[in-house]
Structure 1
Amino acid sequence: MANRSTKPRNPKHRLKPSTETKSLKFFLEELFNKRGPTREAALSEIIEAFTNNLQHEFAEKLFATLLHRCENSIKRGSAKEICLASQVIGLLAMTIGYGDDAHEIYRESVPTLSQALKFGPQTIKILECLAIVTFVGAKDFEDTERSMKIIWQFIHPESGSIEVTNKHSAPVLAAAVSAWSFLLTTMDGWRLDHKYWKGVIPYFSKLLEENESTRDIAIEALALIFEIGFLEKFTSQAIDSIHKDVSNLFEDECRLEKSINICGNMLTFSTRSQLKKIDFLKCFLGDGFVKHMLENELLHSVFDFTPESNHQSGSELYIPENEEVTVRIFLPEVRNTKSFQRMYKSPNSITSKARTQLLKKKRMLAQGLAMDSAEEN
């Protein structure tokens, strides 16, 4: 762990640098201050610095010190300080990227965050931080599932019951389900612990009866589960029955496709898992989303994204030459049912609609390339 710089012998006469010249090391030093407001101000400055620029050199050299000071803030700070410190840890992990340092952040912070979920007032930011450090720092599926279990226990502590409790407010419950769903997008369904997740689909189905914000996030979670498949791991009920209860929520599968423009670079998503990843990270990074998408190698790897500025040729189209529409739902018991026929075989099925839209997009792309070629000639 990096050693902090030595303080002047007489703190009262320390010359504080101007706002323009204050460095991240200065704000890191301020995290040792005994006054809560001073630490809060320093954390806010660190967040701004990590959001607006990728602080690779600082993060690599002093990540351990910054992490430990943030953990101290989470354990002993005010609600505001807990919120800010959680955000800093998440941004630190995003800046560090995959590797041993990120795994250390995961290993060191998860116990602190888990404990804070039980008593901390700023649970939304804690949940986001837990999801981010796991996303970046987990070494294997066991690490990821460990965090998913922590979040699930927070969501639904009553084991064996599908009743929705009023322990959490709607925004907190929605944030918890969102964080759990985000981590689910990184898992192979067959690796999930089938003994642990049996109550997930029934519980999320119950959430459909709650308020709008909770209902929307529950629909998203159920859609991700259906896309990943292995439904038998998420419920002890008959799969056919569960499928008929909620399949109508996902009929318009064509709406899955979404494109975003990042400074002239088009990035297209065609699965719910991809959309969940980008939406969650965009929400977490806030104003720094574009900056990180353009410069953060972690995000380039996650989304197989190379910004135009990093290409030797600046005139390439960032649209995949080949795309496939796949809807993976593991339903061995319902392949001959009317619901299965409606979902997959009819002209109005979700796959038929998606293929039609894909063909239309390819035609438009081909026309655009032909026009460009004609103009060049």
Structure 2
Amino acid sequence: MRFALGNIFWLGTKELRSFFSDAVLLGLVIYAFSFAVYVQAHSNSQEVHNASIGFVDQDNSDLSRQLMSAFLPPYFKKPEPVSQRDVDHLLDIAAYTFVIIIPPRFEADVLGGRSPEVQLDIDATAMVQAGLGSGYIEQILSTEVTKYVDRNEGTYLSRSQNITKSPVTLSVRVMYNPNVSTAWFMSVMGIVNNVTMLAIILAGAAVVREREHGTMDHLLVMPIAPFEIAMSKIWANGLVITVAVTLALELIVRRLLQIPVIGSVPLFVVGVIVYLFFSAAVGIFLATVARTMPQLGLLYILVAFPMNILSGSNTPLESMPYLLRTIMQFSPSTHFVSFAQSILFRGAGLSVVWPEYLYIAFTGGLFLLLALTRFRASAVQSS
């Protein structure tokens, strides 16, 4: 056993030297856990931010001017006056996401107890802005009209339109992300997705590189078991990614993006190590199927992309079709995302996440067994 551990250690150090001498792979790891995380946090916003808005004021009253001044940053840009005849053209060229049209005699109709209509034209190609922004605009318009009428007519609304106050007051408390900021979620999920990507690529590339350089033949004629070769690649590449994840959480998420991490980082890192065992085993298994790096890349697309996209890191599992949601419960990537969110967002402890750790480790062992079964046979066939 000591001899086997020694082989695993020294073969792993060889992998580390090979990795750090490969500028492309080193640059990929640095990019994936630094700039890519920062960009993903800010480029995939799911809230209304600086939405462009045009304003057609056909009433030119105090109320219409009050409505126009109610749209403020950071949700909306300052509204710009536009002409009615230019609305269609401005939407066609995507000059504005929203155009609000205030009809003539709007203020008089409101104060007279009538129900005038405000037209809102939306460019729905900006899907997120359009969906959320329309609700914001409706709420802003309703609030400003109510304030204006109450200020001018006292309790006019309750007398003329039979509007009664609700006996229930809704008190909303947003947990774990008070401002509902997309960056808080996407930055951590970017790190999680990159762990899967790099673990499979680095471990698989290490095996394929050995085969392409002819050094795999040298390893197989030495008194070294395939298990020792596989484990050396797993711990070496896993160490690189674990260090990169820890630095990304501290330097990019906490310091640069100023995003608080509620839970235990050491507990999360332990989970990352367990998941890396699975991902690296998958990478080695794919490398025993592929004969060249291009083939490994194609297999990666077929395997890793669905694992990331359907893991719940981008779309909640509850919103997926039942059959797909059931299938993804067997994927370790789903459990990785689950315990990452539980630990880092909700502060969960080991008592909550240990079943997911155990399942991921068990699945990783199965893939390692499959990889070892094919390891020597694939090496011999390629030689």
Which of the five TM-score ranges fits, normalised by the shorter chain?
A: under 0.3
Structure with higher Rg: it is: 2
TM-score (normalizing by structure 2)? 0.24
